[in-house]
Structure 1
């Protein structure tokens, strides 16, 4: 996957239509952390990184991206 963590988080936020507070609760982190990541500061705890990856996978399970031909 070529997406950075802020892109993954933004995609979750858009698809689920969640606030930063809701995202933070789902990820087990704080709203300021979510705000920093959405703002492009990709450095976060490994546990937050893993939670974002897992939530992204759960949100987009079953969706297949078109392969360029």
Structure 2
């Protein structure tokens, strides 16, 4: 996967239509942390990174269209 953590979080936010507060609650972090990540400051705890990856997989797995063969 070549997406950065900010992109993953933006995709989750758009797909679920969640606020930053709701995202923070789902990820077990704070709203300011979510805000920093959304604004391109990708430096976060590994636990937050893993939570974002897992949530993205759960809610956005079919987000990208498969390439035709």
Normalised TM-score (structure 1): 0.92
Q: In the TM superposition, what whole-angstrom CA distance separates every residue of 1:4-60 from its partner, at most 9, and x where no partner exists?
A: 000000000000000000000000000000000000000000000000000000002
Show structure 1 runs of 4+ deviating over 4 A.
Answer: none
CA distance in 2, matches of 1:21, 1:46: 20
- After the TM superposition, which residues 5-44 of structure 1 pair with which residues of structure 2 at under 5 Å, given as runs? 5-44=5-44
**Where do 5+ consecutive residues of structure 2 fail to align?**
none
Aligned length: 68
SS at match of 1:2: coil
CA distance in 2, matches of 1:25, 1:45: 15
**Where do 5+ consecutive residues of structure 1 fail to align?**
none
Normalised TM-score (structure 2): 0.92
